[in-house]
Chain A
Amino acid sequence: LAKTTQPISMDSYEGQEVNITCSHNNIATNDYITWYQQFPSQGPRFIIQGYKTKVTNEVASLFIPADRKSSTLSLPRVSLSDTAVYYCLVPRGSARQLTFGSGTQLTVLP
Chain B
Amino acid sequence: SQTIHQWPATLVQPVGSPLSLECTVEGTSNPNLYWYRQAAGRGLQLLFYSVGIGQISSEVPQNLSASRPQDRQFILSSKKLLLSDSGFYLCAWSFGRGREKLFFGSGTQLSVL
Interface positions of A (Cβ within 8 A of B): 30, 32, 34, 36, 41-46, 49, 87, 89, 91, 95-103
B44 at the interface (CB under 8 A from A): yes
Main secondary structure of the interface of B (DSSP, over half): strand
Q: Are B44 and A100 closer than 8 Å at their CB atoms? A: yes
Overall SS of chain A's interface: loop
Which residue numbers of B lie inside 8 Å of A, CB to CB?
32, 34, 36, 43-44, 46, 49, 51, 57, 59, 88, 90, 92, 94, 96, 98-107, 109
Q: How far is the CB of A8 from chain B (nearest CB, A)?
A: 10
How long is the Cα–Cα vector from A101 to B51 in the complex, in angstroms? Answer: 22
Q: Report the bound CA distance from A100 to B36 in whole Å.
A: 10
Q: Are A98 and B94 in contact (CB under 8 A)?
A: yes
Chain B residue at minimal CB-CB distance from A95: B57
